[in-house]
Amino acid sequence: MTTSRTLRDRLVDRLVAERAVTSAEVEAVLREVPRELFLPGVPLELVYADDVVVTKRDEDGRALSSASAPGLVADMLRMTRARPGQRILEIGTATGVNACYLSRLVGPEGRVYTVEIDPDFAEGAGRGLAAAGADNVVTVLGDGEYGVPEAAPFDAVEVTAQAGDIAAAWLDQLNPASGRLVVPLTLRGLSRTFAFRPEGDHWVADEQLPSGFVPIRGEGARAQRGIALLGGDEAAELRVDDDQPADAQALRAAFAAPAHQEWTGVTLPAHDRSLLHLDFWLAASLERYGRFVNVGPSVGAGPGPLGWTLPFGTSATWDRDTVAYVTLRQNGLTDFELGVWAHGPRRAAMAADLAAQVRHWDRRRRGGPEPVVRAYRAGTPDHRLAPGRVVDRPHTRMVIG
């Protein structure tokens, strides 16, 4: 029989070989902590796969909580820069395994405060933490929106659920000189985990990575708007956030006519990550930006009436009655060409404009640094913001520079 220790080492060996784990401290805690203590009843082969383990779903089948893929967990632990003796605040205890990793990183002189809104999860995590001997972890039942003010300040805050904003309490409770905030944010429809550090009167993200988490619950919950554009076998929707205006009825009507297609001549090798860079660059550049998601059964099967898009969506823009989105087609055996398809009265002009943006990115921006994201307190006047696309949220003014 394959033991937990063997499977754990095999998983970590693979993550190290793939450069998903680059920190010796994080590698050590991944090898040390028995994940099965936090996932009772889950087969060991799944416990030690580099994949998400969903632990609770709602009545519609949507995930309410999960244990994140170990590779992503490792990356976020590295981003927190947790060190012996530090105090860490975790928002979203879930299974408790991440709090246990943090407890090992801060050591017996450190403390981890982890906040969980669901009493069932808090109780289950408490059992796992006790079994693992993580007696430097304090589990708090409550809404993570408010943190744990009586235990502040913290050297780092790590959020393990998809947030729509940065809660004021997280910023208030960070060490003002050196505290780090690691948080998965949905920003203009894009899901990224950012690591923020203080810089003067605001915070700047010095690291980011693509990710996706179960949405945060409680007072901080912020729903993304999904506009159904087409039903039936080729179901598709436009996903919009940041209160951007979008006339659902007019945009649905646009799909009554075939798309105008414009191919850009810009190619990407298979598995190339440049598309993620393009998405973020377009999110900063376009006045209106969202995600076009083909949710029908033909996703990934090849071009159809809506073109070929990826399962997690592609960049899109729109006006009152016209919508355009990035699509792909195969170019040779391994490459893909980027194109733009548009529907509505101004489809040719909008397709040409978006295609021009893609070509500009290819000539001038491709391979360059990611756009820089800065977070300012809500109410900060415009003249004190860095240049860039401003995204206003209840607690913050985000600037994509």
Cα-to-chain-centroid distance, residue 330: 28
Higher-pLDDT residue of 303, 351: 351
Catalytic residues: 68
Q: What is the pTM of this model?
A: 0.91
How far apart CA 151 and CA 139 sit, in angstroms, is 12
Give ∠ CA 196-201-206 in degrees, rounded to 5. 20
Mean pLDDT rounded to a whole number for the chain: 91
Question: Is residue 295's pLDDT more than 70?
Answer: no
Confidence of residue 331 (pLDDT cuts 50, 70, 90): confident
pLDDT digits (tens, 9 = 90+) for 152-197: 999 999 999 999 999 999 999 999 999 999 999 999 989 999 999 9
Q: Residue range 62-88: average pLDDT?
A: 89
- Report the pLDDT value the prediction gives residue 68, as an integer from 0 to 100: 83
Q: Is 388 left (phi over 0), alpha (psi -120 to 50) or beta?
A: left
- Reference 44, options 34, 59, 57, 32; nearest CA is 34
Strand partners, 261: 341
**Distance between CA atoms of 269 and 336, rounded to whole angstroms?**
6
At position 11, the amino acid (one-letter code) is L
pLDDT of residue 65: 63
Least confident stretch, 96-110, 223-237, 273-287, 367-381: 223-237
Q: What is the 3-state secondary structure (H, E, C) of 155-213?
A: CEEEECCEECCCCHHHHHCECCCCCEEEEEEEECCEEEEEEEEEECCEEEEEEEEECCC
Contacts of 222 (CB under 8 A, 6+ apart): 163, 164, 165, 186, 216, 241, 393
Q: What is the pLDDT of residue 304?
A: 60
Interatomic CA distance for residues 22 and 1, integer angstroms:
30
- pLDDT band of 57, cuts 50, 70, 90: low
Whether the per-residue pLDDT at 314 is higher than 90: the answer is yes
Q: Using the predicted structure, report yes or no on whether residue 297 has a pLDDT greater than 60.
A: no
Residue 300: its pLDDT value, please? 41
Cis peptide bond prior to 153, omega within 30° of 0: yes
H/E segment holding residue 285: helix 274-285
Residue 298's pLDDT band (boundaries 50, 70, 90)?
A: very low
Over residues 209-214, mean pLDDT: 88
Mean pLDDT value of segment 8-25: 95
Classify each residue of 320-329 as buried b or exposed e, where b means 16 or more C-beta atoms within 10 Å of its C-beta.
ebbbbbbbbe
pLDDT tens-digit series, residues 246-266: 999 999 999 888 899 999 999
Find the angle CA(357)-CA(362)-CA(364) to the nearest 5 degrees.
90
pLDDT digits (tens, 9 = 90+) for 90-126: 999 999 999 999 999 999 999 999 999 999 999 999 9
Residues 185, 143: Cα–Cα separation, whole Å: 18
Q: Which of 24-33, 361-370, 391-400 has the lowest mean pLDDT?
A: 361-370
> In the structure, what pLDDT confidence band is assigned to residue 310 with cuts at 50, 70 and 90?
confident
